[in-house]
Structure 1
């Protein structure tokens, strides 16, 4: 099933994200994570290319296939295009189809050090267009978007123009970069609506559970940290359990506010930690049930 159908059936789509194990680890090490996520019944699980976009595309497809075929959960495989030829990209798409994976998140990908512009696909719009023109409606296509602006430019208005191009190229829905201040998301949605963009947009939320994690996140994403969040980090940075629980509580506060304000979806960056996913999911179980029950009644 293509994920776009979930947005037609439900008021709120709730999903997880996982990343492949390190190259030096057996792929079976992902099973513990997936076993811990399975009974939480997310609408789908996305699989990244791994931290820093290190090109684990084969593992991405394999893990996505495991999620779909072994665990019976819809899978979304991340696919980057920077430095790839058309034929290489078409080959990956064929492999995904052969494995029964029919949803991709189309991304440009991180620009490698020393990259000189080789490759036929320059950006995610090019990739989306290729998938749609080459594959027709065989794939559901997700796009990324940035409520605080992409880290390379931090220009929200320009990023919204690009999101419009992604929609026109054939994207079905979008997932945001993580953020810690919901006001950025609401301002972003207002601008998206003014631009006439109609894609359903999921809010990307990451419960932060340790100080090193947040330092890495800020470096990679450029996300702004509200004063309230900084106080939590400072208060509990030397108590691992307290910081973990406080980070989850902060994310829950974000999620409840987003759902109550009418967000179309929540995409939870789990960091391959079933404890985090379970804590969040069980805490909002009745809210998710209530919100989607409304659609059934209508």
Structure 2
């Protein structure tokens, strides 16, 4: 394997026995590439919390480092403190700390309103036990009032005690470079890891991107749309686009790459092999 920087992979907790079987195969396929860690997402308002922790425990039982996502929105200090102690007792050493989203119909935002509040609380409760990852948005958070305000919130998270950050996915390396330069100018030198989303399904990706505020460049949208149902062409074009993106990010000094797998191995591995 030619890639010379660390890599990591993100999963979501499976909901069916078939999903568990598929994820086990995906973990097996990816583990040969010696990832730094695997992470597992958390549903809105903690709706997949049990599945997240179960998946992390399973990955760790296979001998790999695993990081649960932990969100604070809609939760209490006592509940989060209990989770932290359970994770610590299990030997988990890494957390992806997020504000999270409220599920529809759920009232109140909880006792910790922002990700920096959660990071501060984790440090208060557990000291330096956990390596804390937080989210970064090179193209700015969709709810940010301005780029300056978004940068301020990110700096607050880092200053609260985060060790490193993983970005929302993007397809414009200039956005990453500009964001990292702004963060460095603000005096924060922690690693900022690009989040990489393989391109496998145009309609799904367009929907994701519209919801989360990630820009899908017009030329990429038009090219993908032109393939219609030609999945082979979509995969080949997507692999080419994302591989070139990764090459540029590595040249810019990205400390590692974090792949959003959607519980599939092949799309991420095709990109890694192309590098």
Instruction: Name the TM-score, length of structure 2 as normaliser.
Output: 0.92
1:225 aligns with 2:216: yes
TM-superposed deviation, 1:57: 1.2
With 212-221 and 81-90 compared, the bigger mean Cα shift is at 212-221
TM-superposed deviation, 1:118: 4.5
- 2:150 alignment partner in structure 1: 159
Instruction: State the alpha-carbon separation in 2 of the partners of residues 97 and 54 from structure 1.
Output: 19
Instruction: State the alpha-carbon separation in 2 of the partners of residues 29 and 114 from structure 1.
Output: 32
What root-mean-square deviation, in Å, do the aligned CA atoms of Structure 1 and Structure 2 show? 2.0
Q: Is the 8 A contact 1:27 1:59 kept in 2?
A: no
TM-superposed deviation, 1:101: 1.5
- 1:290 alignment partner in structure 2: none
Instruction: State the alpha-carbon separation in 2 of the partners of residues 176 and 154 from structure 1.
Output: 19
Counterpart of 1:64 (choices 53, 56, 59) is 56
TM-superposed deviation, 1:102: 1.2
Instruction: State the alpha-carbon separation in 1 of the partners of residues 180 and 261 from structure 2.
Output: 24
Matches within 5 A, 1:127-138: 127-138=118-129
- 1:179 alignment partner in structure 2: 170
- 2:6 alignment partner in structure 1: 13
Instruction: State the alpha-carbon separation in 1 of the partners of residues 12 and 237 from structure 2.
Output: 24
- 1:294 alignment partner in structure 2: none
Matches within 5 A, 1:25-44: 27-44=20-37
Q: Secondary structure at the match of 1:77?
A: strand
- 1:46 alignment partner in structure 2: 39
Instruction: State the alpha-carbon separation in 2 of the partners of residues 53 and 13 from structure 1.
Output: 31
Q: Is the 8 A contact 1:148 1:154 kept in 2?
A: no
Q: Is the 8 A contact 2:46 2:71 kept in 1?
A: no
With 29-38 and 73-82 compared, the bigger mean Cα shift is at 29-38
TM-superposed deviation, 1:29: 4.6
5+ unaligned residues in a row in structure 1: which ranges? 1-10, 285-298
> Which deviations, in whole Å up to 9, do the C-alpha atoms of 1:251-288 show, x marking residues without a partner?
1110011101211221111111111122122222xxxx
Instruction: State the alpha-carbon separation in 2 of the partners of residues 125 and 152 from structure 1.
Output: 16
Instruction: State the alpha-carbon separation in 1 of the partners of residues 156 and 250 from structure 2.
Output: 27
> Which deviations, in whole Å up to 9, do the C-alpha atoms of 1:174-230 show, x marking residues without a partner?
010111111111111111111111111001110111122212211321111223312
> Which deviations, in whole Å up to 9, do the C-alpha atoms of 1:63-120 show, x marking residues without a partner?
11222221x2221110011111111111111222233211101001112324443421
Q: Is the 8 A contact 2:141 2:150 kept in 1?
A: yes
Q: Is the 8 A contact 1:207 1:250 kept in 2?
A: no
Instruction: State the alpha-carbon separation in 2 of the partners of residues 209 and 113 from structure 1.
Output: 28
> Which deviations, in whole Å up to 9, do the C-alpha atoms of 1:149-177 show, x marking residues without a partner?
11123632212111111111110000101
Instruction: State the alpha-carbon separation in 2 of the partners of residues 274 and 195 from structure 1.
Output: 37
Counterpart of 2:15 (choices 3, 14, 22) is 22
- 1:146 alignment partner in structure 2: 137
